[in-house]
Amino acid sequence: MSDHIPDVTKMMQDTPRTDSEEYESQDEPITKLGSVDAEFARTLERELHAANERIKRLEEAGDALCAAAAFMGWHMEIEKWRKAKEAKP
C-alpha cells in the first residue's frame, strides 16, 4: 500500500475546456465557482448536439449491419454491438 499523494496538476480533468475558459465573476460571492462566456457555452452545446446526432447515425448504421449480420451467423458480434450500445454514460 502506498501513501503517495498524487500530484493534482497531473490528474486528468473532465472539463478542461471549460476550466480554461473560466473566469471569476464580479457579481458572485467568492464561494461560488467562476463563470464562462455565453458564446463559449453555446459552442459546447452545438458540439454536444452534433456529437449526439453522429452517435444516433452510427447506432442506426450499426443496427442495420446487425440485421444483415444475423443472416451470416455473426451472433457473437451482434451481442457485442448490443452491449456496447447499452453502455451509455
Residue 80 confidence (pLDDT) above 60: yes
Query: What value does the mean pLDDT take over residues 2-23?
Result: 69
- Specify the pTM: 0.64
Higher pLDDT, 34 or 5: 34
Question: DSSP letters along 7-36, please?
Answer: -GGGSPPS-HHHHHH-B--TTS-TTS--B-
More confident residue, 34 or 54: 54
**What is the model's pLDDT at position 2?**
47
- Residue 89 is classified by DSSP as -
Task: Kindly give, in sequence order, each residue whose CB lies less than 8 Å from that of residue 22, ignoring residues fewer than 6 positions away.
Answer: 33, 34, 35, 36
Which triple of cell numbers denotes residue 24?
471569476
- Per-residue pLDDT band for 33 (boundaries 50, 70, 90) equals low
